[in-house]
Amino acid sequence: MDYQMDHLRELEAESIYILREVAAQFEKPVLMFSGGKDSIMMVHLAAKAFWPARIPFPLLHVDTGHNFPETIKFRDDLVERLGAKLIVGSVQDAIDAGKVREEKGLNASRNGLQTGVLLEELEKGQYDAALGGARRDEEKARAKERFFSHRDEFGQWDPKNQRPELWNLFNGQKSMGEHFRVFPISNWTELDVWQYLALEKVELPSLYFAHKRKVFARAGTLLADTPIIQRREEEVLEEKTVRCRTIGDMTCTGVWESDADTLEKIIQEISTTRMTERGGRTDDKRSETSMEDRKKQGYF
C-alpha cells in the first residue's frame, strides 16, 4: 500500500484543517461569500469539514447592487440547499445613507466601496474571524499573505509585521476589537480549483460557462453590456460567445471570448491559457500595487 495522497486531496485536507481550526479557535467566525467559484468551493469545503453537522458559521455577502443577476440567484439557491445562514451587506444602502460616496466617471465602480461596508458588517456582527477565498497565486501582494492574517482594530493589514506561520500551528490569539482574516485555500491555484470543482461535481453559476452576450471592448478587456456602465460613443456592442473567469461586480469583471461550455473544456482552456485570471479585472489595473493598497485598508 502506497500511503501517498494526490495533490487535490492533500490541498482539500489542508483547507479542511484550517476551517476546523477557525471553528475551534474563534468565538464568532463568518465566511465571506462573493458568489465566485472560489467562495463556492469554500462553502463546499466547509460543508465537508463539519459534516454531518451544519456549517457552524454564517455566510456574509457584500452586495454592490451591481452583481450579475445570475450570481444572486445562485447564492440564494445554495444557501437554501445547505440550510446556511446568509447575511447581506448592501453597498446601495450605504450610499443611500450617505456613508460612502459613489464614484463618478467612465470607469466608476463600487468595488472600492465594498471595503467600508464589509468592515461595518464585521463590526456590527462582532465577528472575530472572516474567512475568505483568496489564493496566493492570484496576485503578487497575496503571495505573502498568511493563512491566519491578523488585522488591527481598524481592520488594516500590515504586511511588514505579519506573524510567522510554521508547520500547521496557527496563532489566532488577539486583543479585544481585533479580528482575523483567514484564507483556507491559500495554496490552491486557479487550475487546482477547477480540477477540484470538476472532481467533486460542484454546481456553478452559468456565467462561468460559454454563452452568448452583448459585449464591448475597453482597454483590452471585454465588458458586458449593462445599463450601469456608461459607454463611450466609439465603444460598440457586439454579440460574442464569452464566459467569466472570475465573477465580481459587473463594472469591473471582464468576460473572455471562449467556447468552453463544460468543466472539462474550462480545465483544458486554463491549462493552456497565457493570461492570468485577474487580467480581466479593471480594479487591479489602477496601479501596480493597487491590490496591496486596498488590502492594507481591509479589502478581501
Partner 1 sequence: MTDQSTELLRFSTAGSVDDGKSTLIGRLLYDSKSIFEDQYEQIKATSERRGEEGVNLALLTDGLKSEREQGITIDVAYRYFATPKRKFIIADTPGHIQYTRNMVTGASTANVALILIDARNGIVEQTRRHAFISSLLQIPHIVVCINKMDLVDYEESAFEKIRDEFSKFSNKLDVKDIHFIPISALKGDNVVDRSENMPWYDGQTLMYYLENVHIGSDHNLIDCRFPVQFVIRPYNDDFHDYRGYAGRVAGGVFKKGDDVLLLPSGFTTRIAKIETHDGEVQEAFPPMSVTIRLEDDFDLGRGDMIVRPNNKPDVAQDIDAMICWFNEGPMLNRGKYTIMHTTQQARCIVKEVRYTLDINTLHRNQEDLQVKMNDIARVVLRTTKPLFTDEYRKNRITGSFILIDEGTNNTVGAGMII
User: Footprint of partner 1 on this chain (CB under 8 A)?
Assistant: 1-7, 9-14, 16-17, 20-21, 23-24, 47-54, 136-137, 140-144, 159-160, 162-169, 171, 173-175, 186-187, 189, 191-192, 195, 198-199, 263-264, 267-268, 273-276, 279, 288-289, 292
Angle subtended at Cα 89 by Cα 86 and Cα 231, rounded to the nearest 5 degrees: 120
* Minimum distance from residue 224 beta carbon to partner 1 (Å): 20
CB nearer to partner 1: pick between 75 and 135: 135
Q: How far is the CB of 79 from partner 1 (least distance, A)?
A: 18
Residue closer to partner 1 by CB (options 121, 139) is: 139
CB of 201 to partner 1, least distance (A): 10
Q: Return the axis-axis angle of helices 37-50 and 69-82, rounded to nearest 10°.
A: 0
**62 close to 89: Cβ distance less than 8 angstroms:** yes
166's CB contacts (< 8 A; 6+ apart) are none
In the bound state with partner 1, the residue whose beta carbon lies nearer, of 65 and 279, is 279
Tell me how far, at minimum, the Cβ of 62 lies from partner 1, in Å: 25
| Least spacing, CB of residue 169 vs partner 1, in Å | 5
Residue number, 68 or 299, with CB nearest to partner 1: 299
The minimum distance between CB 10 and partner 1, in angstroms, equals 5
Cβ contacts of 150 within 8 Å, gap of 6 or more: 162, 163, 174, 178, 180
Q: Distances in Å between the alpha carbon of 122 and those of 28, 82, 158? A: 10, 22, 19
User: At 113, phi and psi to the nearest 5?
Assistant: -75, -15
Please give the backbone phi and psi of residue 208, each rounded to the nearest 5 degrees, phi first: -75, -20
Give the nearer residue to partner 1 in terms of CB position, either 104 or 160.
160
- Beta strands per DSSP E along 161-282: 179-182, 211-218, 221-224, 238-244, 254-257
Closer residue to partner 1 in complex, CB, 127/148: 148
CB of 277 to partner 1, least distance (A): 9
Torsion sign over Cα 220, 226, 229, 230: positive
Helices (H) and strands (E) in the chain, counts: 8, 10
Question: How many CB atoms lie under 10 A from the CB of residue 86?
Answer: 15
User: Looking at beta carbons only, is 68 or 188 nearer to partner 1?
Assistant: 188
